[in-house]
Amino acid sequence: GSVIGILGGGQLGRMLSVAASRLGYRCHIFEPGAQPPAGHVAEQVTTASYDDHAALRAFADAVDVITYEFENIPTAALDLLETLKPIRPGRAALAASQDRLTEKTFLQELGLQTAPFADVSDAASLDAAIAAIGAPAILKTRTLGYDGKGQARLKTADDAAEALASMAGAPAILEGFVDFSHEVSVIAARGLTGEVVCYDPGENVHRDGILHTTTVPARLSGSQRMDAALLAGKILTSLDYVGVMGVELFVTPGGLIVNEIAPRVHNSGHWTQAGCAVDQFEQHIRAVVGLPLGDGQRHADVEMLNLIGDDVADLNTQMRATRTQVHLYGKAEAKPGRKMGHVNRVLG
Ligand code: ATP
Ligand code: MG
Ligand code: MG
């Protein structure tokens, strides 16, 4: 096929469209919001709600394969789309990542380490969860959380009532607080014929709940690096996954603990644009159209810096810096907390 349908028109959809275009494919974006960043790049954009099944049907008819840049696609829309065109990555990956309770259960059943967790729906189940897990702990909404939104930290059991109130009735999960030394993520890809390629893990630093920098190489031993690749391969293979996935990990003396998985290209994989011959966006496009995967080898040390809100007001320093790429997403308004672009700096 030659037209790739992408659900979601944010910066990830935009960079996927750029990569697809470079390989001679055309992209068609489906996005409810007006003026999506990907709309500047993709050949076609459908602006419609996920409830508009006629629009979804027309979109599916116009494309050869469907992929996505975010995991919270409504189930009814997926039910319809999957009868019309292949969706890659498939439903199993979305089921495993849309709900933190399902996600952690899936990871544990695979034999991977997660934070201790328990389902929370009311004050009684929260008390039981605290009794089982202890404090400190983090209460998170099961669905729709990102950039640290929908989370409340409990220093002690006394914080329970306030934390529960902040969930506003949404189903939640309590997680034991993991005492990690640092956070890393591994970006991995699996092709249509089952081959797996992993990028070198990156080390992630967050600021105000939002990814601030990713640096490669991460501080990891050779065996930790191997563990990261093996566990990513296990996750992808068990889901019969096709495409790129981001796997967030906590590094602890007891080994790597999986925090969450994202069934898509990932902000912590943007460094691959400057560090690898085939970046995560091209890799994802290759996977979903059934091309051979590219080489995941890293040829440089890189630091990726996110440009959030007003960080884009003055970029002269970055623009003049050597061995530095500036990526801007074409968003009109630089609101606080909004991801406006990123900078990849080759180190050394
Ligand atoms: P993202 O924007 O990466 O999707 P998110 O909103 O889905 O983020 P998480 O990644 O689950 O949220 O949590 C955000 C951050 O909070 C983590 O990167 C980590 O720093 C911290 N955190 C989350 N869960 C735990 C935990 N169980 N123990 C310790 N720290 C945690
Ligand atoms: Mg998340
Ligand atoms: Mg996260």
Flag whether pLDDT at 1 surpasses 70: no
Paired sense of beta strands 151-154 and 137-141, if any: antiparallel
pTM above 0.95, yes or no: yes
Q: What does pLDDT average to over the chain?
A: 97
Q: Which CATH number fits domain 182-346: 3.40.50.150, 3.20.20.70, 3.30.470.20, 3.40.50.920?
A: 3.30.470.20
pLDDT band of 170, cuts 50, 70, 90? very high
Flag whether pLDDT at 58 surpasses 90: yes
pLDDT band of 35, cuts 50, 70, 90? very high
DSSP code per residue over 272-295: HHHHBSS-HHHHHHHHHHTPPPPP
Name the residue of 205, 212, 259, 306 to mutate for ligand 1: max ligand atoms within 8 A of Cβ: 259
In this prediction, residues 104-127 reach a mean pLDDT of 98
Query: Is there an atom of ligand 1 within 6 Å of 33 CB?
Result: no
Query: Is there an atom of ligand 1 within 6 Å of 248 CB?
Result: yes
Ligand 1 atom index nearest CA of 148: 6
Enumerate the CATH 3.40.50.20 domain ranges in the chain, comma separated: 3-87
Flag whether pLDDT at 208 surpasses 70: yes
Query: Is there an atom of ligand 1 within 6 Å of 263 CB?
Result: no
CATH match of 3-87 with 3.20.20.150: no
Flag whether pLDDT at 205 surpasses 60: yes
| pLDDT score, position 348 | 74
| pLDDT score, position 234 | 98
Q: Which CATH number fits domain 116-176: 3.40.50.360, 1.10.357.10, 3.90.700.10, 3.30.1490.20?
A: 3.30.1490.20
Report how far residue 115's alpha carbon sits from residue 248's, in angstroms, rounded to the nearest whole number.
12
Residue among 33, 31, 111, 69 at smallest CA distance from 269: 69
Which residues are annotated as part of the binding site?
100, 140, 145-151, 175-178, 183, 206, 259-260
CA of 24 to the centre of ligand 3 (A): 33
Enumerate the CATH 3.30.470.20 domain ranges in the chain, comma separated: 182-346
| pLDDT score, position 66 | 98
Report how far residue 337's alpha carbon sits from residue 326's, in angstroms, rounded to the nearest whole number.
19
Flag whether pLDDT at 163 surpasses 60: yes
Cis peptide preceding 89, ω within 30 of 0? yes
CA of 186 to the centre of ligand 1 (A): 15
Q: For residue 9, which amino acid is it?
A: G
Which residues are annotated as part of the binding site for ATP?
100, 140, 145-151, 175-178, 183, 206, 259-260
Report how far residue 302's alpha carbon sits from residue 202's, in angstroms, rounded to the nearest whole number.
9
CA of 151 to the centre of ligand 2 (A): 11
Terminal-to-terminal C-alpha distance of the chain: 42
Q: What is the pLDDT of residues 222-260, one digit of tens each?
A: 999 999 999 999 999 999 999 999 999 999 999 999 999
Q: What is the pLDDT of residues 60-73, one digit of tens each?
A: 999 999 999 999 99
Query: Is there an atom of ligand 1 within 6 Å of 70 CB?
Result: no
In this prediction, residues 270-286 reach a mean pLDDT of 98
CA of 25 to the centre of ligand 3 (A): 31
CA of 159 to the centre of ligand 3 (A): 23
In this prediction, residues 308-313 reach a mean pLDDT of 97
| pLDDT score, position 70 | 95
Enumerate the CATH 3.30.1490.20 domain ranges in the chain, comma separated: 116-176
Query: Is there an atom of ligand 1 within 6 Å of 203 CB?
Result: no
Flag whether pLDDT at 119 surpasses 80: yes
CA of 191 to the centre of ligand 2 (A): 24
Query: Is there an atom of ligand 1 within 6 Å of 127 CB?
Result: no
